[in-house]
Amino acid sequence: MAKVYVFDHPLIQHKLTYIREKGTGTKEFRELVDEVATLMAFEITRDMPLEEIEIETPVSKTTSKVLSGKKLGIIPILRAGIGMVDGILKLIPAAKVGHIGLYRDPKTLKPVEYYVKLPSDVEERDFIVVDPMLATGGSAIEAIHSLKNRGAKHIKFMCLIAAPEGVEAVKEAHPDVDIYIAALDEKLNEKGYIVPGLGDAGDRLFGTK
Ligand code: URA
């Protein structure tokens, strides 16, 4: 069964408060999302495999640990997911970045894929799918399906704020995908917004309305 990790690090929680605050302007909002993405990347990479190599310090020969070359892919769900990419790349600069775009069909209300561009070696990579908000879970579930259909085997999902409904939906659809969040909020409202949430993440990141 999928595990859900809530990153309650004080720095993450502090920055998240100002991300939520409605008076926070676009520039600061973007910077804070970027910083929280970096801090979350630090936590989410805890299980990265290491190997010993031989090195020489100015004092003696020794063996020391380096990352064992695991290939990573970051997949932002368009468009708000883009706001988390640079923050993750600060810690994992060699990661490849794919994109998945989805829109909601006005009749069925189901997410429909309109854009997918992934690294060519999907089967060899571990993926982190990112979207600031996990609301109903529809987009996350579809994006993860899309990655799996193209051969991805190891996928994590990372977001800033999740609604309980979305967490349950992703866990049920993808029990093999662990979920990493900065805050688990109360509920979804009738318009599909997370309460208390932060509003529309895409609009706040890109200054649109
Ligand atoms: N997407 C958002 O940007 N905000 C929400 O509250 C829910 C979905």
Residues 100-154: tens digit of each pLDDT: 999 988 888 789 999 999 999 999 999 999 999 999 999 999 999 999 999 999 9
- 87 marked ligand binding residue: no
Q: What is the pLDDT of residue 109?
A: 77
The CATH number covering residue 43 comes to: 3.40.50.2020
Provide the ipTM.
Answer: 0.96
Distance CA 139, CA 137 (A): 6
193 pocket-lining for ligand 1 (C-beta < 6 Å): yes
- 32 marked ligand binding residue: no
- Of 8, 47, 63, 108, catalytic: 108
pLDDT tens by residue, 19-65: 999 999 999 999 999 999 999 999 999 999 999 999 999 999 999 99
* Residue in the block written with tokens 């600031």: 132
Task: Please give the structure tokens belonging to residue 127.
Answer: 């993926």
Residue whose CA is at the smallest distance from ligand 1 atom 7 = 193
Task: Please give the structure tokens belonging to residue 10.
Answer: 């004080």
| Single pTM value for the model | 0.95
Q: Is residue 209 part of a domain?
A: no
Distance CA 130, CA 121 (A): 19
- The parent domain of residue 22 ranges over 2-204
**Looking at the 3D structure of the chain, how many domains does it have?**
1
Q: Is residue 185 part of a domain?
A: yes
pLDDT tens by residue, 88-99: 999 999 999 999
194 pocket-lining for ligand 1 (C-beta < 6 Å): yes
CB 167 within 8 A of CB 184: yes
CA 125, distance to chain mean position in Å, is 16
- 79 marked ligand binding residue: yes
| DSSP one-letter string for 174-191 | -TT-EEEEEEE-SEE-TT
